[in-house]
Structure 1
Amino acid sequence: MNKEAVLLVLSCLGVVQALFLCGYLFTLKKGDRKANMFLAFVILGLTIRIGKSVLNVYLDLTPWQKNLGLSGILLTGPFLWFYGKLLLAEQKRFSNKDYAHIIPFVLFALGCYFIPNTGNPISYAIYIMVFLHLAIYIGLSFGVLYKCRTKVHPQRATWYRNLSIGVALIWQFYMGNLAGFFSFYIGGALFFSLLIYLFSFLFLQKHAFRLGKYNTSTLDRSSSQELMDGIRSLFIKEEIFLDNSISLESIAERLNIPPRKLSQCINENEQKNFSDFVNGYRIEKAKAMLSDPKYAQEKIIAIAYDCGFGNVTSFNLAFKAKTQLTPSQFRNKSKKR
């Protein structure tokens, strides 16, 4: 298999995977369906453009076919912006005025047969205007990210930032190719393939949708932080974690909030589930006891129970996961200090 064949296969794999990902998002029922649809349109727009690049290298496309491929760029920008407004700014309603932003795509796609694309100055001007359109929406998208970065869960902000950077890099490649900085035209398709498989991996790991179960929650960022301060105060001052019978439900009842809201609060502020959050306090208590000469003769199993663990096995596993040492090793190391 020669070099050209390898490049063709790699490029086509990215396009096929992108189409699969679009289909997955269009039919995904979990999480926010509107957000999934917006993201699918972002990827579909890029796929149309990249697909045109792949075909243009190996086939003799007519001007209208090139224009149809170019129209995908006009689809990507608005939906990237919509996706950010929904995911970060939590704008749930989009009016006809909002959707008017996709009119350039519709007009360009319908008029692709009449728009010149023959390599003349007018064709280059149209090409630049299409990519200028995407640049404007990339700028708007980063504006939404900057405005909302401190108000949303870091996971969402990071995901949207990475998505926007990926689109911006594809834009930069094609502009660089037009300016003569990059002569390897098919490189855009190869880079797209890399991005698509990376995004697919994130989806399979549920990084992008992990917060889907909280999409309908009324707990905003400031209220979540305020509630978290109360939870920490309860754990530090009253040491309720020492009770091995505590549960998400019992703590939620004491705070007079729904268990779902308590779970969301801990997840958003600590990036932990309830069990890991509680065990974190128990391990810190155990470390203090194991390094205190007053408890030098205390058996480790007794310390485990005193710190709120129901059995010594779960204590040993949790302790080593947190400190990379067994309780005995930690105690011995503390004695040598």
Structure 2
Amino acid sequence: MLTTGLILILASLGLAQGIFLSIYLITLKNNHRKSNIFLGLFLLGLTIRIGKSVLNYYLPLENWQNNIGISGILFAAPSLWLYGITLFEKNKEITYTYYIHFTPFVLFLFLIPFIPRNGNFESFWNYGIVVFHLLFYLILSWSYLRKNSSNASDSIVKWYRNILIGSTLIWLHYVGNLFDFRMYYIRGPIFYSLLIYAFSYLFLNRHKFNLQKYDSSRLDKSSSRALFQSIKKLFEKEHVFLDDNITLKIVAEKLNVKAREISQAINENTQQNFYEFVNLYRIEKAEVLLKDVEYSNEKIATIAYESGFGNVTSFNIAFKKKTGYTPSAYRKR
């Protein structure tokens, strides 16, 4: 009884979180409104479908209630594919031909009063539509990702890939229903709850969900990689990181590019900001000095300054974050 209650609470919290995120995305007004709406519709459709499974596991539902729950996947699946298109192609015009993909959902709603819910026909609607309809759009989405991944930033590619992986795992749970109804039926909602919490974490923390930060930039993926190699060469040959006053502007002037492009190249190729990238070189320099016998009697402050840090405090914090040791402990090792 206790386990049943915990499962219900976990699944219900996940569903509530899914509804909250869906509404937030659909109503969010920014430069990425189209992609936000499709992502919100995808999450809402999954939440409706998973919610039906939770309720049906604990309470007997009317036929029309079950059918409404099933209909969620019919607009979630094409929304997943359209989200990918609008995520990778921000200025893509979504014409009426794209919205034809929602026709099965509309037809299903009109046919709800006439759809029987018994025997083999029930299984067909419950599993057949969900499994094969979602599979079709998963294939379209994975294919789209494969074709367009070379033209988008790594952060966008990884984000959409993670969503597709989660969606594919949910699809596999539905396939499991075909073989063992009792074993897999409630696992789907539980897994979805865990998935939606992971999604929420990424949504709120990974770059503040700012996946399209450099949408207005003319720097494509190959140019970004080439510029990043130039930045690395500059750091390794001229040791500009040793200047404790180094800035994006100074590096940009040396390479004759815009400061924003320097930031973009570093962010897209290392998932670090400029100062994290600079500190990485400084810490590598500090490690060399701490191992050098000629510096064995030098103060930690001297090591910090000669590595490019402006003060000892920031040096200690950055060094321990990177190595797991304070500079003094590292030297003793």
TM-score higher than 0.5 here? yes
- How far apart in 1 are the matches of 2:125 and 2:242? 68
Do the aligned partners of residues 125 and 263 (structure 1) sit closer, same or farther apart at CA in structure 2, a change above 3 Å counting?
Answer: same
Deviation, structure 1 residue 90: 5.6
For 2:268, the equivalent position in structure 1 comes to 268
Normalised by the length of structure 2, the TM-score is: 0.87
* 1:47-62 equivalences in 2 (<5 Å): 47-62=47-62
Matches of 2:39 and 2:300, distance apart in 1: 52
Tell me the alpha carbon deviations over residues 50-91 of structure 1, each in whole angstroms, 9 at most, x when there is no partner.
Answer: 222233334443333322211111111111111223334667
Larger deviation: 148-157 or 138-147?
Answer: 148-157
Unaligned runs of at least 5 residues, structure 1: none
Which residue identity lines up with residue 37 of structure 1 in the other structure? I
CA contact (8 A) 1:248 1:274 kept: yes
CA distance in 1, matches of 2:281, 2:130: 55
Deviates more, 1:317-326 or 1:92-101: 317-326
Distance in 2 (CA, whole Å) between partners of 1:36 and 1:322 is: 35
Shift of 1:225: 0.2
Deviation at 1:37, TM superposition (A): 1.2
2:73 alignment partner in structure 1: 73
Q: 1:324 to 1:46 in 2, by over 3 A?
A: closer
Q: In the comparison of the two structures, how many residue pairs are matched?
A: 332
**Which stretch has the larger CA shift, 65-74 or 54-63?**
54-63
Partner of 2:27 in structure 1?
Answer: 27
1:205, distance to aligned residue in structure 2 (A): 1.9
Identity across matched positions, percent: 50
The Cα of 1:239 is off from its aligned counterpart by 1.3
Deviation sequence 1:138-182 (CA, Å, 0-9, x none): 122222333344554444333323322222222222232233364
Q: Shift of the alpha carbon at 1:189?
A: 2.2
1:19 Cα deviation after fit: 0.9
Deviations 1:271-320 (CA, angstroms, capped at 9, x unpaired) = 21111111221222233333334445554433432332222332233233
Q: Is the 8 A contact 1:64 1:117 kept in 2?
A: no
Distance 1:47 1:186 in 2: 14
Q: Which residue matches 1:213?
A: 213
Larger deviation, residues 273-282 vs 296-305: 296-305
CA distance 1:5–1:323, shift in 2 (3 Å): closer
Q: What residue identity is the alignment partner of 1:117?
A: P
CA distances 1:10-69 after superposition (whole Å, capped 9, x unpaired): 333222221111112122335622222111111111111122223333444333332221
1:187 and 1:319, CA in 2 relative to 1: closer, same or farther beyond 3 A? closer
The residue number in structure 1 matching 2:118 is 119
Higher helix share: 2
- The residue that corresponds to 1:199 in the other structure is 199
C-alpha RMSD over aligned residues: 2.6
Range moving further from structure 2, 276-285 or 41-50: 276-285
Q: Does the C-alpha gap of structure 1 residues 130 and 285 become closer, same or farther in structure 2, counting only changes over 3 Å? A: closer
- SS class of match (1:214): coil
Structure 2 gap ranges (5+)? none
TM-score normalised by length of structure 1: 0.87
